[in-house]
Amino acid sequence: MRAQTLLLLCFLSAAAPAEECACPPDETRQEKPFIPNGLYDEVPEYKIGERQILQEYRIYRAYLDGNSALLDSFFKGWADTNPPISNQQLSRLPEAFRHAYAIFKDFYQPANLGRIGNPEWGTEQFAGVKYYVVQNSIDIAVHRELPKNSYSTDPDNLIFEASLKHFRPQIQGDKVPLILNDAYKSQLLRFLGGESYPAGQGNIMAPAMAKGESNKRMKFLNQFLKIYHGHWGGWRLITDPTISRINFNGTFTRAIVYFELVYQGGEATYQFKDGKWFLKESRLTWIT
């Protein structure tokens, strides 16, 4: 058992992302977790009310043992400690925020990607997963008239803009949402590390790809979800589509959604009618 503990500590020491990772700075310079002696000898399944730090121990213990049930317990604990917003909480938010939550809930359908475009990797990218990793921030803006530029700041047209940093959206369907807050983002990045082949290796059009220990860890996590290696490096942890911004008109009857889908992105238009938002059109407009 002592040998297993030492081996796990070695895994942790090698887990910090390498410099080639193209994540934002706060996602690459993570502190290594403190490991009390002997704590890894046995890590139980998740229990409500336990200390948050046990979750990170659990993911490494699951990997060392090849224990899929313990990994599933890690994800169950994540879902339990950071749930979507309740209807009661939602009802107390400002009008613009409530509209943003409503559009996200309608738009975010990873199992039905064909409704928003024709992705280069197909419409079944997230089929078969148990959990969706969901964004926890989104930008919104309200304009007198919808601008053509997604980030227009024309003072004569802009009424209000905000960045929701603790966004906890509800989703449709039977998949379990994992809201990607800073704590869990840091844990996953430390676990995955930064071993990768650079973009363009062997083929000028080839994306960067995980290798070695990082690739093994990605595959281990992907038993239950779908994580991609970034095109230029780093990691795409979120189960797409990801909404970067929603622009509303001043009467909240029309909206434009700007989104990303793995290595692609686009925009969608919504119309508010009879108390509900309806998707009118969506198209993919760019690719990396």
SS3 at position 184: helix
* Burial of 279 from C-beta contacts in 10 A (0-12 / 13-18 / 19+): middle
SS3 at position 88: helix
The pTM of the full predicted model, rounded to 2 decimals, is 0.82
C-alpha torsion 125→130→135→141, nearest 10: 70
- CA–CA gap between residue 149 and residue 281 (Å, rounded): 17
**What is the band of 231 on the pLDDT scale with cuts at 50, 70, 90?**
confident
**What is the band of 14 on the pLDDT scale with cuts at 50, 70, 90?**
very low
Is a pLDDT exceeding 70 seen at residue 29? no
**What is the band of 42 on the pLDDT scale with cuts at 50, 70, 90?**
low
SS3 at position 85: coil
- CA–CA gap between residue 62 and residue 67 (Å, rounded): 5
Is a pLDDT exceeding 70 seen at residue 10? no
Sheet holding 254-261, edge to edge: 158-164, 138-143, 242-249, 254-261, 264-273, 276-287
Is a pLDDT exceeding 80 seen at residue 220? yes
Which pLDDT tens digit goes with each residue over 48-70? 766 666 788 899 999 999 999 99
Q: Taking the domains of the chain in order of start, what are their residue ranges?
A: 2-81+181-236, 87-176+239-287
Over residues 153-182, mean pLDDT: 94
pLDDT computed for residue 41 by the predictor: 58
Residue among 242, 217, 238, 213 nearest 228 (CA): 238
Q: Is there a contact between 161 and 139 (Cβ–Cβ < 8 Å)?
A: yes
DSSP class per residue in 21-46:
--S-HHHHSPPPPP--TTGGG--PPP
Residue among 88, 80, 7, 96 nearest 46 (CA): 80
- Report the half-sphere exposure of 177 (CA within 13 A, side-chain side): 22
Q: Is there a contact between 252 and 110 (Cβ–Cβ < 8 Å)?
A: no
Q: Is there a contact between 129 and 123 (Cβ–Cβ < 8 Å)?
A: no
